[in-house]
Amino acid sequence: MRSWKRATAVAAAACAALVALVAPGVAHAQSGQRAEVPLRVAVAVLPVADERREGYDRGLFRHWIDADRDGCSTRAEVLLEEAVQAPEVVDRCTLIGGSWYSYYDDVTVTEARALDIDHMVPLAESWDSGAWNWTPERRRAYANDLDEPVALVAVTARSNRSKADQDPTTWLPPHRPAVCRYLVAWVTVKIRWTLAVDPAEHDVLTELAAGCPDEPISVEPA
């Protein structure tokens, strides 16, 4: 079994490889550098390691915070960003009206309270995949990642709770045309945060990628 120390090192090297593919001569990946590589290459560089669930507690990932102190939490910021029709913002960032498209299940929603904000790679899955070894500050940053558009997504509460903490080996969007979009987002987040995949997960991602367009995905290391 590959050690977690080794897995973390390989994950960091994966980000470096992504940057090197589009910027020859760059020795290592840095926050702020965005790499674009084909989907199947991105899947291929994901580090593979067994998962570790011991010690997980959702409370170890502080969310939803108001990072810029504008009165709107991370949840509200995602809703404002992803609204198809913008809601009215009143009082302390209360959202009235608006509409959203939940791509997981191909549903349009007209009430913000009917939506969940899904962590693309669930908090428990991130813990299993390496976040157990992070500082509290990095876990908080992960749980409130507004800098990567695909990291947090507004979806129906039904679809989010169906997904729970599952990875693509056991859960994919019920709206099948959304699967490739979901795959790209999953891989992007895993690489951005140097998270490993377990062997079964890697096999499924590889199989799914073979059936999706091999278009470049964009990744910026966190």
For the cut 70, the answer to whether the pLDDT of residue 43 exceeds it is: yes
Instruction: Give the pLDDT confidence of 66-83 residue by residue, as tens digits.
Output: 999 999 999 999 999 999
Classify residue 174 by its DSSP letter. S
Tokens of 96: 């009235």
- For 117, other C-beta atoms within 10 Å of its C-beta total 19
Classified as helix, coil or strand, 153 is strand
Instruction: Give the pLDDT confidence of 123-142 residue by residue, as tens digits.
Output: 999 999 999 999 999 999 99
Instruction: Give the pLDDT confidence of 12-21 residue by residue, as tens digits.
Output: 555 555 545 4
Classified as helix, coil or strand, 25 is coil
DSSP-assigned beta bridge partners for residue 99: 85
pLDDT for residue 34: 85
CA distance 89 to 78: 13
pLDDT for residue 209: 98
Tokens of 57: 């507690």
Instruction: Give the pLDDT confidence of 47-69 residue by residue, as tens digits.
Output: 999 999 999 999 999 999 999 99
Tokens of 115: 């939506």
Tokens of 207: 């199989």
CA distance 86 to 135: 36
Q: What residue numbers bound the domain in which 80 lies? A: 4-219
CA distance 42 to 209: 10
Query: Scanning the structure block, which residue is given the tokens 């593979």?
Result: 48
Q: Name the domain count of the chain.
A: 1
Helix (H) or strand (E) holding 89: strand 88-90
- For 22, other C-beta atoms within 10 Å of its C-beta total 14
20 and 26 in contact (C-beta within 8 Å)?
yes
CA distance 179 to 177: 6
CA distance 73 to 63: 9
Classified as helix, coil or strand, 119 is strand
Chain-wide mean pLDDT for the chain? 90
Instruction: Specify the amino acid at residue 182.
Output: Y
